[in-house]
Amino acid sequence: MTPFRPHTCRKCRRIVIDGTGPEVDLSLEFSYRKVKKLSKDCKFFRWTLRSSAKRLRASYKLSLSISTDSEDLVYLNVGWMDEYDKHVSPGDGKRQLHIFSTEHGDAAEYIKSRPLTRSRASSVTLEKCLEHYKSCLNHEMCKEALRSNKRNTAPKSLLEIRQNSELYLYTVPQGENPLYAALTYCWGNSQQQQNAKTTSENVKNRHGGIDKRQLPQTIIDAVKIARTLELSYLWVDALCIVQDNVLEQESEMSKMESIYSAATITISAASANDSAEGFLGDRDLKKAYGNLFKLPYHNKRAGHVVKGWLLLSEHPIADTYEENIDKRAWTMQEDMLSVRLLRFGSKQTTWRCLHLSESLDGGGYPMLKNKDPDFSVDDPHRKIEVQSNVSYSGSLGGSCVKINWLDAVTEYTRRKLTIPSDRLPACAALAKNFGDIMGFDSSHYLAGLWKDDICAQLLWRRLEARQAESTCGPSWSWSSINGPVEFFERYLLEDCNFEVDAAAKYVGSYRDSMPNDHKYSDVGSGRLQLNGRLKEAHWDSLSLRRSISNVDVLPLRIYWDVSGGVSSRTVWCFEIIGSYISLGLVLRREKQKGYKRVGYFECSMEESTLAMKSFFDETEPQTIEIY
């Protein structure tokens, strides 16, 4: 049953989606004047008038068509066309309505997507959670992954949650590996979250019992789910790490990878914006669907035409991984490390393990973001498969994995951190997995960049035009910017294998020594030695000139690392790529320290690139040090 009445009327019922042929078919056009007339009494046609980002003209026409995939009928495409049959809105100009059917509707045999479920904690959903968990205990692939992961060190403490019992803090004896669930969630700043923290003052008492009234709703909900799965232990960072004990924090943070990878299951409080909100409350289905419509659908059964109905939602009815939890940096690796993940979202409750990914309570197939699964760097459980693909594909495969790394970093930098200096620790597991795929150890990893691809990975630029807060990383690393970055696109290179033929060369590097268990986690400072062409230039607050005395403006675009550029007049351009395009770093020289990166430049127009070549002409390569 749908939670509220979808719109249908005699005017929009003229739109019949035909499934009687070999393919589902719909191709209709309506003039602007016709749509205006129909919209007076029809909510569907009123919606189509609002679907365009541009102002509509009388000469335009409305186009309706169907998108299908190999398994399901997915979208009703809604677009406005001009008199030349071109889309009038940005992109492909189409809005999409997401199609689904009730379980017992006439279209249910052909349409797999189902209505969303209001209650996240219904008995049916909780039973499915337990069924999937018990079934997965027999998945050989999942069992083997957990057997391997359990060789790692267990958490120091767990929350004991036995049925019909109080909650206790439990110290794990050395050498033991109890079965436990882990929680991934957004903390927030609620007073309840502050009260939930284990501190040096309350840690002893918590071994004797924890008052549930001290805990925020998200943790209470996680206890309920873990008990539903018949587990006795739950790991929650705020409770299981003494928050004012620096040594314990450092020790447990270094085990973060093993804590999530060795958990028998990870519970994701995806729908909760903070720990006080909880994740088992009822869903707001009106918000989830947006506008909801019902249109006729005809199909054939035993040679006879069967008439039924389809439901169409304005918003996606599947988890699109755009919850608040997906905007937090730490939760990215908590998600990717988990062998089993039970995710409670604003639209769906989804199950994911190495064997299966599906919704437990309606909607469509969960839309996992993965641009190139064959060369994915964000799924350590597919590491051997990706290694095999790289080996088979040669240099192109290696380049594809490197591109995936940069895409993953770009996505990661869009996420938020409470503590800016966590920029590298929060993606340490991602870095380790990439290194394992490529056969690199941690000595190849330089503050978020890889030595073997260093010149290409230096070509990052800040995206936001605001003042960027600096973190503790070296200036040449993207980790020095507390905000989103993106990298130079390799597909713009002429090389069909996306290899970067850099003019600059890596010479060497050195960094602050870190403890062995922080190999991928952090770097307070680091110096990079490069050999290439370096040329002085003059910045006049508006453009870059060849020199103070030369009024010629260099035809390049500069992306400053800090909003507003630099106050110093003299800067240095260091060439990284100098073929048919010109790309490099803008540096500032500081006495005794060497050079500091302050920006990135690019120049891709043919005439402009020739001008940049002449700028660097007769400049001999030299070795410089950037800190």
Which tokens is 232 given? 């006795």
Which residues make beta-bridge pairs with 168? 160
Q: What is the DSSP string of 249-282?
A: HHHHHTTHHHHHHHSSEEEE-TT-SSTTT-SSSP
- Taking only Cα atoms into account, the Rg of the chain, rounded to an integer number of angstroms, comes to 28
How many Cα neighbours within 13 Å face the side chain of 151? 5
70, with CB counted inside 10 A (0-12, 13-18, 19+), is: exposed
Element (H, E) at 37: helix 32-38
For position 1, what pLDDT does the model report? 47
The per-residue pLDDT for range 215-236, each reduced to its tens digit, is 999 999 999 999 999 999 999 9
Which tokens is 412 given? 């990661």
Spatial contact of 388 and 362, defined as CB atoms under 8 Å apart: no
DSSP 91: T
The per-residue pLDDT for range 28-61, each reduced to its tens digit, is 999 999 999 999 999 999 999 998 878 899 999 9
d(CA 65, CA 99): 12
For position 117, what pLDDT does the model report? 96
For position 606, what pLDDT does the model report? 73
Question: For residue 79, which of 43, 48, 34, 47 has the smallest C-alpha distance?
Answer: 48
**Residue 609 CA to its chain's centroid (Å):** 35
**What is the torsion angle, in degrees rounded to the nearest 10, for the CA atoms of residue 426, residue 428, residue 434 and residue 436?**
-150
d(CA 253, CA 237): 9
Spatial contact of 277 and 217, defined as CB atoms under 8 Å apart: yes
**Residue 532 CA to its chain's centroid (Å):** 35
Question: For residue 479, which of 520, 529, 516 has the smallest C-alpha distance?
Answer: 520
Question: How many residues does the structure list for the chain?
Answer: 627
Rounded to whole angstroms, what are the CA distances from 613 to 459, 505, 585?
A: 18, 18, 15
Which tokens is 359 given? 């919704």
pTM above 0.85, yes or no: yes
DSSP 367: -
469, with CB counted inside 10 A (0-12, 13-18, 19+), is: exposed
Rounded to whole angstroms, what are the CA distances from 300 to 10, 26, 105?
A: 23, 16, 14
Element (H, E) at 590: strand 582-590
Taking CB atoms within 8 Å and a gap of at least 24, the contacts of 159-163 are: 159/210, 159/223, 159/233, 159/234, 159/235, 159/236, 159/239, 159/240, 160/232, 160/233, 161/223, 161/226, 161/227, 161/231, 161/232, 161/233, 161/234, 162/232, 163/227, 163/230
Q: DSSP E strands: which ranges in 452-569?
A: 460-462, 485-487, 505-511, 526-532, 534-539, 544-545, 557-560
Task: State the sign of the Cα–Cα–Cα–Cα dihedral 537, 540, 545, 546.
Answer: negative
For position 578, what pLDDT does the model report? 86
Q: Which residues of the chain have pLDDT under 50?
A: 1, 71
SS3 category, 94: strand
